[in-house]
Chains A and B, each alone.
Chain A
């Protein structure tokens, strides 16, 4: 069965006719061709597919696109400034070498952006706790933790 879904993605209204079973992540990747959101597992463990739904970080592999009807979605493509300047959280990942292969990175950044809203000056322990649902196989988390601590402080400072 085909169904029409409409939502706002990165500030732009989008709609498409899709199969009912289409996951939000498939809608984002295949229909909208926004391929920065990644799929790393099939059990909602890795967090590579993390996007914001109405401002909250969610795993876009864990809901069907229909559940996001009318929602405001932010993906990694919508994070940097329109002129291309990196968001302070993205910049912190670059400065602290918080990424290697880059595959988990969009999910890490999306999760960190949500976390930083409520944690303007997080401790190492809080950051590690916040990464419970995001897996990285390259960095050993060391520099991701540093990146998020620095990024959160930069976000708080730029307000």
Chain B
């Protein structure tokens, strides 16, 4: 028997093409008759568009067409839809102002698209875009979350710039608990606005064929079927069977490539007018202005404790910035994916959270790695650490005192955790991070003129959002299942089609391990296909760390059907009754005998059905499955961060970072470690270096990689990571998902360490040298 592939560090199948420059990203796709698009973008955060003159641009060399919002309106192209309806505290639907692909009468953020220019070359398109004359009448802009309600209204339907006020939890119970609390810890902070910055910029190449009236869209997307659904059903009104969306190799997503973007719509519509392929690839400056941003909350949070340190209640008020328009899933991020996580790992009996979502003259905000859960973890873990310091309790002991230890556990904020062992991850993190040696290290640092601090974060995450019917009752406008198909070939090799999409996660390897292990095949005998609506039956794509838990389970369900049919075939071949056939990793055996057929032999019989029960069974071996989870999965973990702060400059370095996560069963530890490293670095980026700055007129000051600092190799240490395992109870693989954990837990751990080093209550994120220096000198 070959050793199991589950838990094996299998090198990645996808690496060879990426290492040799043979990957095919959207911008690499060049088609006969290729044209190139450039967008005319608003330089104003808020303005009336009096006129758009395109004559000069249309006469420029190489220009094929110029289209404006008026052209799209005349063609009745719909606005970009929002995929989640939030119902407010008064039972009213959220405000959903129109989000046109090209501006109609007004622009509401810098970088909003006003016109599209299509030309024979990318350079010609850009040159001509500069010749489009737009007459703007600038209007006062509102930029900050705090000022949103008082600012000039962006949309007629939302005169106070409020999209919704939404609440979760028992307010009366919370107020009563606060009234009798021995101690209340209160914090007010901003969860800084981030720009995802996948290194591959967004790109789209749209093709229309008059021959069969079909449209093909190559697009850097995390979920091609969702893109097709939104594009066809809501925006362009095309029949889905005439639209193919291909998301080829995609260079990172982190949430930013989930959404239907205006550029995708405009290029697709233009390609259909011109019957020539239209390609647009964002430059980094455009990405900063037009990719959906993340986070941007202003929060007041309070934790009520008893004199024994037991958490009694939590009260949270958050104002969340939606930006100028509602991006595809914007509305559910600071609500469904945020307030529901405020129990964290603790038995806090009463929690109330009120969220006000506002419009401002800024780029739309949507899910970015973690999406609501980093914000929730930041609230909980900053409160807990601060409470421990205020009450002179050990922060680890305070957490232990309040850990949930009985599962399943119903939180007061809607979720039911199926399993976990928070003590195990915390104990491991304390050991691996050598918390016992911290005092000595702190003294050593001090001798070198550095302040050293230690911070914890114990996060909980909800992944694989589902089930569809519950999500639907909460406002989801789409299903949340995943689809998979197993195609067994006559010689016993297998092609697996998955609705999940891989843009760095290594599904081609991890999913192949799952299938090869079960079917008794080598990893090379299993091919994973993803990212093409013409090949894959359906899919909701990759977001929210759902791929292995939901997409992987759909594949397992399809394999179950393959094995079930294989048993019937084997029973016939072995002249046994079906009930006597046992299956284990590629071998069908008559129970208690040495009579057996291999998976390959059964596959061959299915396709060359000469000796086959044709009267009872169809030939062929091909099955698909749709899987709708019964619950979220709940990865959790404990992080310990140590920082060193330079007393002279405020410059802060991560001295060490320990992460112990519980992702349930781990299929490929090498890939999981890579996901953790990347997530941690993005979380450290949020804490130390990243943050959007807008000036008061709505100009993005951090609009390039020279101004917006994503972490470089020197900003992070070698990470000390490990896992503990409580298998998920409601999916067959026992998996929970690992993609976002690092980004969820790291910011609170880093900021808890910095505030410990400085002996201050709070430092704003990002803790740049300037922000830290100021905090030191205020203290």
B22 touches A36 (CB 8 A): yes
- Known contacts A35-B21, A77-B20; A97 and B674 CB within 8 A of each other: yes
- Kindly supply a per-residue 1/0 record for chain A positions 72-103, scoring 1 wherever the CB is within 8 Å of any chain B CB and 0 otherwise: 00011101100010100010011101011111
> Chain B contacts of A59 at CB under 8 A?
none
- Known contacts A139-B678, A140-B716, A141-B716; A109 and B19 CB within 8 A of each other: yes
B199 touches A137 (CB 8 A): yes
* Complex alpha-carbon distance, A90 and B22, angstroms: 13
- Kindly supply a per-residue 1/0 record for chain A positions 101-125, scoring 1 wherever the CB is within 8 Å of any chain B CB and 0 otherwise: 1111110010000000000000010
Q: Which residue from A79, A129, A134 sits with its C-beta under 8 Å from B20?
A: A79
A137 touches B678 (CB 8 A): yes
Verify if B249 is at the interface (C-beta below 8 Å from A).
yes
A140 touches B678 (CB 8 A): yes
Which segment, of A1-9, A43-51, A63-71, faces chain B? A43-51
B200 touches A40 (CB 8 A): yes
Consensus secondary structure, chain B interface = loop
- Known contacts A36-B21, A124-B718, A139-B674; A94 and B28 CB within 8 A of each other: no
- Known contacts A46-B199, A136-B199; A103 and B251 CB within 8 A of each other: yes
* Complex alpha-carbon distance, A138 and B200, angstroms: 11
Which segment, of B329-337, B520-528, B543-551, B704-712, faces chain A? B704-712
* Complex alpha-carbon distance, A45 and B538, angstroms: 38
A102 touches B504 (CB 8 A): yes
Given contacts A80-B19, A106-B21, 10 further A-B contacts (CB under 8 A): A36-B20, A40-B201, A76-B19, A76-B20, A100-B252, A134-B713, A139-B674, A141-B712, A142-B716, A145-B713
Verify if A143 is at the interface (C-beta below 8 Å from B).
yes
- Give the A-binding residues of B (Cβ under 8 A): 11-12, 14-25, 27-28, 30, 123, 197-201, 249-252, 254, 281, 283-285, 503-506, 670-671, 673-674, 677-682, 704-706, 710-714, 716, 718-719, 742
A21 touches B123 (CB 8 A): yes
B677 touches A102 (CB 8 A): no
> Chain B contacts of A141 at CB under 8 A?
677, 681, 711-713, 716
* Complex alpha-carbon distance, A130 and B757, angstroms: 30
B705 touches A46 (CB 8 A): yes
Q: Which residue from A36, A106, A140 sits with its C-beta under 8 Å from B680?
A: A140
> Chain A contacts of B14 at CB under 8 A?
102
CB distance from B689 to the nearest CB of A (A): 12
> Chain A contacts of B719 at CB under 8 A?
140, 142
A101 touches B21 (CB 8 A): no
CB distance from A86 to the nearest CB of B (A): 6
CB distance from A10 to the nearest CB of B (A): 10
**Minimal Cβ-Cβ distance residue in B for A90:** B19
B250 touches A94 (CB 8 A): no
> Chain B contacts of A140 at CB under 8 A?
677-682, 711, 716, 719, 742
* Complex alpha-carbon distance, A90 and B252, angstroms: 20
A127 touches B713 (CB 8 A): yes
A99 touches B18 (CB 8 A): yes
* Complex alpha-carbon distance, A132 and B705, angstroms: 13
* Complex alpha-carbon distance, A155 and B713, angstroms: 22
Verify if A131 is at the interface (C-beta below 8 Å from B).
yes
> Chain A contacts of B283 at CB under 8 A?
39, 41-42
> Chain A contacts of B673 at CB under 8 A?
97, 143
B16 touches A94 (CB 8 A): yes
CB distance from B16 to the nearest CB of A (A): 7
Nearest first, the 7 A-B pairs at minimum CB distance are A36-B21, A102-B18, A103-B251, A101-B504, A140-B681, A140-B677, A100-B504
* Complex alpha-carbon distance, A63 and B492, angstroms: 52
- Known contacts A132-B713, A138-B504; A143 and B674 CB within 8 A of each other: yes
A138 touches B252 (CB 8 A): yes
A142 touches B718 (CB 8 A): yes
* Complex alpha-carbon distance, A51 and B201, angstroms: 20
> Chain A contacts of B123 at CB under 8 A?
19, 21
CB distance from A48 to the nearest CB of B (A): 6
* Complex alpha-carbon distance, A106 and B16, angstroms: 11
Q: Which residue from A45, A79, A100, A104 sits with its C-beta under 8 Å from B506?
A: A100
> Chain B contacts of A42 at CB under 8 A?
283-285, 704
A38 touches B15 (CB 8 A): no
Q: Which residue from A19, A128, A142 sits with its C-beta under 8 Å from B714?
A: A128
* Complex alpha-carbon distance, A140 and B681, angstroms: 5
B713 touches A144 (CB 8 A): yes
> Chain B contacts of A104 at CB under 8 A?
199, 251
CB distance from B134 to the nearest CB of A (A): 22
Offer 12 A-B interface pairs, CB within 8 angstroms, sorted by A.
Answer: A38-B199, A39-B27, A42-B284, A42-B704, A77-B20, A101-B18, A102-B504, A103-B198, A135-B712, A137-B710, A141-B681, A143-B677
CB distance from A104 to the nearest CB of B (A): 5
- Known contacts A38-B251, A46-B199, A100-B505; A135 and B705 CB within 8 A of each other: yes
> Chain A contacts of B670 at CB under 8 A?
97
